[in-house]
Structure 1
Amino acid sequence: MRKILMMLAIMAAPVQAQQVASAEGGVLRALDKVSGVSRDVEMRRGETARVGNLNVTMNECRYPSGNPAGDAFAELEIVETGDENRLFAGWMIASAPALSALEHPRYDIWVIRCTTS
């Protein structure tokens, strides 16, 4: 019973918002699942990079204030070349890439870190 009460107390504790900072850009990792080749793609905020037949736009990259090497999260838009439908639009989190992932038969793309300069 005591264990249950402790768990309820922990769950009821207020969650504090983490202070974050915006970065100038970030680093993504792209894996071609057919060839097995991966590469890192360094991007600036607002830039679009090509990964195979995908166009990846980084709208924002944020990290915990005072810890640029900390858990990055980036807002991305990913479309296939020649197709206006978005394959992905939203936030990807470096520490939990499967939480919000690109669903594509050939490519995996995930956030590695933000860059501050």
Structure 2
Amino acid sequence: MLFKKNTSLGKTKSNLLIFLFFIFPFFLHSEQNLEGNYTNIKILDKISSKNILVKLKNGEAKKYKDLLIKSMKCKNSEFDDNPEITAYIQVSDLTNKNKDDVFVFNGWMFSSSPSITPFDHPVYDIWLISCY
């Protein structure tokens, strides 16, 4: 009777070690790249029918005419076939003298579905364009 050595167990262990040390860090690195430092939004002035692309650094407020806009965080989706961009944005109306209304908009915006959490202002519309 001949005995066979079990070499498949050794191959499985070596394949697992290769995966853990060489391939797995790439997955961790790709997830960290999903969050960006800058947010691009497009602002439409409904009165003049002109739009402008505004680049926001996350965490810093930027004034555009009567609006004070601040992007807190933005993130790209991990799916390439249907990319989704989300950003947490705060918008204040500087013409509003009522100090009880802190923000005109304070929440998450989605690039593919702006109607989920709409920005409601009589003069301006804001759309999320990109995150990088």
Determine if the TM-score, normalized by the shorter chain, exceeds 0.5. Answer: yes
Q: TM-score category by the smaller chain?
A: 0.7 to 0.9
Q: 2:63 aligns with which of 41, 50, 58?
A: 50
Does structure 1 residue 24 correspond to structure 2 residue 37?
yes
The structure with more helix, counted as a fraction of residues:
2
TM-score (norm 1): 0.74
Deviation at 1:105, TM superposition (A): 0.2
**Matched residue pairs, number?**
96
Deviation per residue, 1:33-66 (Å, 9 max, x gap): 0000000001111021122201010000001137
Q: 1:105 aligns with which of 122, 125, 128?
A: 122
Identity %: 25
Q: 1:87 aligns with which of 104, 117, 123?
A: 104
Instruction: Find the aligned partners of 1:77 and 1:36 in 2 and give their Cα distance.
Output: 23
What root-mean-square deviation, in Å, do the aligned CA atoms of Structure 1 and Structure 2 show?
A: 2.1
For structure 2, list consecutive stretches of 5 or more residues without a partner in the other structure.
Answer: 1-30
Instruction: Find the aligned partners of 2:129 and 2:51 in 1 and give their Cα distance.
Output: 13
